[in-house]
């Protein structure tokens, strides 16, 4: 592309679409149908060509054949000679009109889905780059959408993750997908707000990290998780449930059709299957139904230093469950509990028995949800052990599980207040 004096440094896609395409002499050839950019990981996407409608066929014109984008005139080509083969998208290519304009993007900063009203191209040296996205909503007046020039929301392209739908291009950008840096609950919120095609693409990103995928399914609404899991094979379901907490896996299996429960259970590892079957035997609104079966318990003669080392090595356990270390006897009966803060403040050479609270607050597996909540509130507990009639430690209830069970059913749909610094743009400054 030549660097002409009249060529602007900034272009908006909305102003380019349907512009005449002409040769250098000004003879009309057709109209601009789309602009093509190539994804480049963490760099701004590079404009590689345009799609021109010529003679009723959409043809690819490489950017090297574009002489100039005049401020108001036609898109001028170097010559009238163009490749007459119909345009076919290649790996890593994004069509700005077809894939971005009017489509939704993931706002990685504020973690929600927004619609792209326009995109901005910026000239850098001899190249055009996709730099910004306008996410303002057109004004609706008397049934017609009106553009209001005073309402614009131009933001850095790097603050977004596009949902472009094209499989080969999705693969090309996966190593740099920012969505996998979001919290599982945030990704779950995105999926719950997504269309069927959007949720498929988001889950495609998440599937690349099996641990994250399991965490996301734990955060999804039960009906949606059941639908998404139900669309998979038994082996695929078992693969996800294997990495989930046993209590969440038990809930997920209970939501499957009856005919699929046993086949999925049989595909789980023996340890996970035993935990899930145990939990499925309890009322979901009881202490047994709420508890998790992963906790840290050891003999009272264990030193504080050894206990802290065990906490450091328990990366697979739920962090909330690690706020307490339980002391048990040789039969597994609960003797005492040591809070993590007490362990950190104690002499590493002391024993658990010396720093633990004897006769801890505990409940049986049939204790109902209200009593569990009252006990945890009255005693300011983050965790609550569940024991059988012989005081054998069966599991541990964490405060987050109680909150989830006691909040209104539609709590996930509430809009939470953003943090005071929540509007910072995560993207780098545009070129």
Q: Which of 273-276's residues contact partners 24+ apart within 8 Å by CB, and which partners?
A: 275/246, 275/249, 275/250, 276/241, 276/246, 276/249, 276/250
Closest CA to 264 of 279, 245, 280, 249: 249
Query: Looking at residue 327, what is its pLDDT?
Result: 96
Residue 343 reports pLDDT greater than 80: yes
Residue 224 reports pLDDT greater than 80: yes
- C-alpha 58: how far from chain center: 36
Rg (CA), the chain: 29
The percent of residues above 70 in pLDDT, for the chain, comes to 86
Closest CA to 128 of 69, 53, 59: 69
328 to each of 52, 164, 206, 378, 389, how far by Cα in Å?
75, 54, 39, 24, 15
- Over residues 382-389, the mean pLDDT reads 96
Q: How many residues does the chain have?
A: 431
Q: Is the pTM of this model over 0.85?
A: no
End-to-end CA distance of the chain: 19
Query: Looking at residue 55, what is its pLDDT?
Result: 81
Residue 172 reports pLDDT greater than 60: no
Q: Which of 406-414's residues contact partners 24+ apart within 8 Å by CB, and which partners?
A: 406/369, 406/373, 412/189, 412/192, 412/221
- Over residues 304-333, the mean pLDDT reads 93
Q: How far apart are CA 157 and CA 103, in angstroms?
A: 14
Q: Which of 146-150, 222-226, 353-357, 385-389 has the lowest mean pLDDT?
A: 146-150
Residue 346 reports pLDDT greater than 70: yes
Q: Which of 330-335's residues contact partners 24+ apart within 8 Å by CB, and which partners?
A: 330/299, 331/390, 331/392, 332/297, 332/392, 332/393, 333/387, 333/390, 333/391, 333/392, 333/393, 334/360, 334/362, 334/385, 334/387, 334/391, 334/392, 334/393, 335/300
Phi/psi of residue 75, nearest 5 degrees: -80, 115
Under the banding of pLDDT at 50, 70 and 90, the label for residue 78 is confident
Show the domains of the chain with their CATH numbers.
1-141+149-155 (no CATH), 177-281 (1.25.60.10), 288-406 (3.10.580.10)
Phi/psi of residue 348, nearest 5 degrees: -55, -25
User: What element of type H or E holds 325?
Assistant: strand 324-328
Q: How far apart are CA 249 and CA 344, in angstroms?
A: 33
Query: Looking at residue 342, what is its pLDDT?
Result: 95
Query: Looking at residue 296, what is its pLDDT?
Result: 96
Tokens of 210: 């099996």
Higher pLDDT, 171 or 212: 212
Under the banding of pLDDT at 50, 70 and 90, the label for residue 313 is very high
Query: Looking at residue 427, what is its pLDDT?
Result: 45
User: Please, what sign has the CA dihedral across residues 344, 346, 351, 355?
Assistant: negative
* Mean pLDDT of the chain, nearest integer: 86
- Over residues 201-209, the mean pLDDT reads 88
Q: How far apart are CA 252 and CA 272, in angstroms?
A: 13
Under the banding of pLDDT at 50, 70 and 90, the label for residue 69 is confident
Q: Which of 60-64, 172-176, 392-396 has the lowest mean pLDDT?
A: 172-176
């Amino acid at each position: 592309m030549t660097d002409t004096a009249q060529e602007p440094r900034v272009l908006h896609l909305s102003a380019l679409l349907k512009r005449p395409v002409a040769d250098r002499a000004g003879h009309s050839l057709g109209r601009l149908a789309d602009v093509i950019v190539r994804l480049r990981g963490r760099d701004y996407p590079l404009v590689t060509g345009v799609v021109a409608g010529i003679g009723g066929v959409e043809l690819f014109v490489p950017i090297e054949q574009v002489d100039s984008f005049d401020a108001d005139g036609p898109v001028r080509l170097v010559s009238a000679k163009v490749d007459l083969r119909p345009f076919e998208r290649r790996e890593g290519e994004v069509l700005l009109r077809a894939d971005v304009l009017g489509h939704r993007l993931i706002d990685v900063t504020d973690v929600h889905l927004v619609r792209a009203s326009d995109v901005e191209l910026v000239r850098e040296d001899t190249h055009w780059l996709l730099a910004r996205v306008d996410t303002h909503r057109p004004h609706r007046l008397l049934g017609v959408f009106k553009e209001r020039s005073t309402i614009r929301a131009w933001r850095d392209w790097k603050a977004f993750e596009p949902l472009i739908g094209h499989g080969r291009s999705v693969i090309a950008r996966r190593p740099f997908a920012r969505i996998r840096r979001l919290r599982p609950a945030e990704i779950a919120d995105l999926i719950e707000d997504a269309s069927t095609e959007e949720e498929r693409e988001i889950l495609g990103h998440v599937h690349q990290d099996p641990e994250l995928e399991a965490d996301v399914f734990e955060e999804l609404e039960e009906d949606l998780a059941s639908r998404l899991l139900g669309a998979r094979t038994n082996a695929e379901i078992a693969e996800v449930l294997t990495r989930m907490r046993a209590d969440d896996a038990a809930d997920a299996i209970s939501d499957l059709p009856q005919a699929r429960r046993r086949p999925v259970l049989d595909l789980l590892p023996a340890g996970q299957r035993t935990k899930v079957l145990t939990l499925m035997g309890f009322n979901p609104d009881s202490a047994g139904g709420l508890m998790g079966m992963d906790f840290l318990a050891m003999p009272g003669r264990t030193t504080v230093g050894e206990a802290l080392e065990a906490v450091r090595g328990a990366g697979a356990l739920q962090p909330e469950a690690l706020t307490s270390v339980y002391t048990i006897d040789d039969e597994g009966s609960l003797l005492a509990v040591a809070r993590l803060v007490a362990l950190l403040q104690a002499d590493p050479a002391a024993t658990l028995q010396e720093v633990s609270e004897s006769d801890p607050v505990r409940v049986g597996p049939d204790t109902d949800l209200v009593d569990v909540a009252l006990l945890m509130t009255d005693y300011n507990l983050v965790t609550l052990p569940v024991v059988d009639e012989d005081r054998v430690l069966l599991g541990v209830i964490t405060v987050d599980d109680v909150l989830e069970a006691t909040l209104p059913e539609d709590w996930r749909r509430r809009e939470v207040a953003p943090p005071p610094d929540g509007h910072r743009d995560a993207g780098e400054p545009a070129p």
